Amino acid sequence: MTYNSSLLRLLDERGYIHQLTDPEGLDELAGKGIVPAYIGFDATAPSLHVGSLVQIMMLRRLQQAGHKPVVLMGGGTTRIGDPTGRDESRKMLSDETIEANIASIRTIFSRLLKFGDGPTDAVMVNNHDWLGQLGYIQLLQEVGTHFTVNRMLSFDSVKLRLEREQPMTFLEFNYMILQGYDFRHLCKTSAVRLQMGGSDQWGNIINGVELTRRMDGIEVFGLTTPLLTTADGKKMGKTAAGAVWLNDDALPAYDFWQFWRNSDDRDVGRFLRLFTDLPLDEIARLEALEGNEINAAKVVLANEVTKLCRGEEAARTAESTAQATFAGGGLGQDLPVFDLPAEGLGIIDALVGIGFAASRGEAKRLVSGGGARVGGVAISEDGYHIPGGAELRISSGKKKHGILRPAA
């Protein structure tokens, strides 16, 4: 459908909308005034990764369209563990870890959203603040009466687990109730009317919508984004070395930049729309590039996303490093560095030292497979001794490069 509100138009044309509880209703509401909307984030790690970036960007769009983003940190629900889409319970995290994670995750939001006290300024809340207060009897009475077990069993998060005969603890079973309670709580205390999330959150979101309607008679809305996979069908956010973390201290800016630079051709347009602020006509021009030309679009993508998440400076440095290493065959300042002793260093030690191999055995395999190079020259002998004295480029494969620098 075509939307009248700038919010839904923006989300729609940029590709964020997968499911929406009541399109007409929300369109009308968003056209009338400021809509506070929230997205929940887990605090299982000290940083979010690119899998969450769609959600974060969606809050940014919300703010761009003149509404109020509410970032919900799952300080309480992380202690439960969302069973959605997984067969195993989450390991328990200590309170200190969760609090530390939340503090660390906060940094990325402050880059992408404007926080403050104004009507459309973003705010961050932590559901531990209210869930932690909840008495068991009180919860059962207030909320428990609105959920039937019959219906709870019908949700995918539960049903799939049962069908696969995988264990689900009562603790996890309660997750959807608590997430539903969050929505209702935010509606009541902060006039939040919309919850957004990934497509796997549909069930959880619906619960909040239902609960709010039943308890308070207020219509709130839910919106999910499409499941983001790369064109070759993989889940977004996992890559070679692990997750693509958003925080500066969790993944070097150069690696972050490279992740985007290496996007699949078919993903470029979609990613530009979702993850950058570039105007749509510019994106249309970039994604129309063919063959070798599309690489220019990937550089733009990498620059723009890095700029947003890591800052202007980080993006520039990463780009010039890439330019120097790939086009020039030289060395960029952003590459990983390892000290080269005056007497030189064995190839195996160098590869392990700089982090291109996790063990000596792996380094040897790399060498015997022909993937190791020093100064651009392939090294096929694992006894090779790298001479000391001069700065050298060391490579694993075509993409991983580093600098061996004589120790000062």
Partner RNA sequence: GGACAGGUGGCCGAGUGGUUAAAGGCAGCAGACUGUAAAUCUGCCCGCGCAAGCGUACGCUAGUUCGAAUCUAGCCCUGUCCA
Question: Which residues bind to RNA, rule: CB under 7 A?
Answer: 162, 165-168, 231-232, 234, 239-241, 258, 261-265, 291-292, 294-295, 298, 322-323, 325-326, 358-362, 365-366, 369-371, 382-383, 396-400
CB of 202 to RNA, least distance (A): 24
Separation of alpha carbons 373 and 352, rounded Å: 14
CB of 102 to RNA, least distance (A): 27
Separation of alpha carbons 205 and 196, rounded Å: 8
Residue 175 annotated as binding site = yes
CB of 13 to RNA, least distance (A): 25
Separation of alpha carbons 324 and 333, rounded Å: 9
Q: Which is nearer to RNA, 113 or 250 (CB)?
A: 250
Q: Which residues contact 95 (CB under 8 A, 6 or more apart)?
A: 79
Q: Which is nearer to RNA, 180 or 402 (CB)?
A: 402
CB of 316 to RNA, least distance (A): 14
Q: Which residues contact 76 (CB under 8 A, 6 or more apart)?
A: 126, 127, 128, 129, 130, 131, 132, 178
CB of 406 to RNA, least distance (A): 24
Q: Which is nearer to RNA, 66 or 375 (CB)?
A: 375
CB of 256 to RNA, least distance (A): 13
Q: Which is nearer to RNA, 49 or 184 (CB)?
A: 49
* 394 backbone φψ class: left, alpha, beta (φ>0; ψ -120 to 50): beta
Q: Which is nearer to RNA, 307 or 400 (CB)?
A: 400
**How are beta strands 337-340 and 123-126 bridged, if at all?**
unpaired
Q: Which is nearer to RNA, 128 or 298 (CB)?
A: 298
Residue 201 annotated as binding site = no
CB of 229 to RNA, least distance (A): 12
Q: Which is nearer to RNA, 63 or 325 (CB)?
A: 325
Q: What is the CA radius of gyration of the chain?
A: 24
Residue 68 annotated as binding site = no
Separation of alpha carbons 144 and 127, rounded Å: 18
Annotation: binding site for ATP: 238
**Binding-site residues from annotation:** 38, 175, 179, 238
Q: List, as residue ranges, the binding site for L-tyrosine.
A: 38, 175, 179
